[in-house]
Chain A
Amino acid sequence: ETGVTQTPRHLVMGMTNKKSLKCEQHLGHNAMYWYKQSAKKPLELMFVYNFKEQTENNSVPSRFSPECPNSSHLFLHLHTLQPEDSALYLCASSLGTLNSPLHFGNGTRLTVT
């Protein structure tokens, strides 16, 4: 149990589908993040929410749409994805956004066909 729970663990979707990834943290943290992890590449920051407010959108295409209804929950809505979007999507949380260690979930392995 990592304290950060992501569902589903695996997702296969076609390019015309709409799906959502869910993340929940049980650590009492105030900041939540979405990262993309592709093979042989460093982790890429996608979005940051601090106290439910989006503070970072790292030039992510609009086919990825985040939602943070409260400090414990984070969603990533997906639509009209491309095959190159296939990757491991990791959610993380931290107590604050200043030099606080990130605590990651186990990710959603996304395959776009």
Chain B
Amino acid sequence: GESVGLHLPTLSVQEGDNSIINCAYSNSASDYFIWYKQESGKGPQFIIDIRSNMDKRQGQRVTVLLNKTVKHLSLQIAATQPGDSAVYFCAEGFNDYKLSFGAGTTVTVRA
């Protein structure tokens, strides 16, 4: 889940800029992390995942960074577009299906 200290509930980004969404997780034993995007009226959509044996993973316009030392996860979105406006959730898991979800960050893209 996300701790209040490192979690911003909202993020406003200028179109074309890069976005960084942060998440602090709680269980140092967690070995699987995942980011979801949820648009209004839809269910969460898988973006990217990463296992604890990696510290970086890239997808199409997205990069997830994992810092196990400080239990921090971030999602970077390159060249943010209006369609990126949504709520973004991180989730952590340890060796089973019980993913623990954060409360989410609402990203608004300004034209």
Contacts and interface: CB of A to CB of B under 8 A. Distances in A.
Interface string A23-52: 000000001010000001111010010100
B103 A41 contact: yes
Contacts of A101: 34, 46, 49
Contact of B46 (A40, A56, A102): A102
A99 B100 CA distance: 12
Contacts of A56: 97-98
25 contacts: A2-B43, A6-B43, A41-B103, A42-B89, A42-B100, A42-B102, A43-B89, A43-B101, A45-B99, A48-B97, A50-B97, A56-B97, A90-B44, A99-B32, A99-B51, A99-B93, A99-B95, A100-B97, A101-B34, A102-B34, A102-B99, A104-B36, A104-B44, A105-B43, A106-B43
A94 interface: yes
Nearest to A40: B103
Contact-residue size bin, chain A (C-beta under 8 Å from the other chain): 20 to 34
Interface in B57-111: 89, 93, 95-104
B14 interface: no
Interface residues of B, number: 25
Contacts of B32: 99
Contact of B43 (A50, A97, A104): A104
A97 B43 CA distance: 19
Nearest to B1: A42
Interface of A: 2, 4, 6, 31, 33, 40-43, 45, 48, 50, 55-56, 90, 92, 94, 97-107
B97 A94 contact: yes
A24 B76 CA distance: 33
A101 B33 CA distance: 9
Contact of A90 (B43, B99, B104): B43
B43 A45 contact: no
